[in-house]
Amino acid sequence: MREPIADRPELPPGYLEEKRLPFAWARARLVHSPNYWVATVTPEGRPHVRPVWGVWHEDDALYFGTGARIAVHLARDPAVSIHLESADECVIVEGEASQIQDPSGLGPVIAQYDAKYSWQMKPAPGEFWRVTPRRAFGWLCDGSGEDGGAAFSATATRWRFDIG
């Protein structure tokens, strides 16, 4: 597995320090997160955001099962944004979702899912999705705001995934 390329998000000059978070920091949060907020677009062009259970697998992709509404949105437009629950240790992943028609090859993913949620997942064909990340963002933030944005300025990082 290749590490994504870390750089800085595009912000006004002087806004950021020249530090980057390692992707291992983001990966640890992605692996251990109990919930993932999935943002899709409705056929009418409106945002649709819902929490789902899932697993960030060792191939640096998110796997999740979902209901019919999100599936309809993703079938129409596979662009997706994933956000973890914390805004103080923020991780956001942007990518494309693909529907998994044959769940027979998901053994390691299902084992990880079952261990994480203490639930025996038996996905039906087409019920599971894989999000291939294109880029991700992460930063630390003082939730009180008392640091004047110093934690954000010191840590805001963008990772670009080599998908070629």
Say which CATH number the domain at 131 has.
2.30.110.10
Cα→Cα distances 55→20, 41, 58, 85, 92, Å: 25, 22, 9, 14, 15
Total domains in the chain come to 1
Residue range 80-120, pLDDT digits in tens: 999 999 999 999 999 999 999 999 999 999 999 999 999 88
Region of 118 on the Ramachandran plot (φ > 0 left; ψ -120 to 50 alpha; else beta) = left
- Give the residue, 86 or 164, on which the prediction is more confident: 86
Identify the domain containing residue 83 by its residue range. 5-160
**pLDDT 10s digits, 5-42:** 777 667 666 665 667 899 999 999 999 999 999 999 99
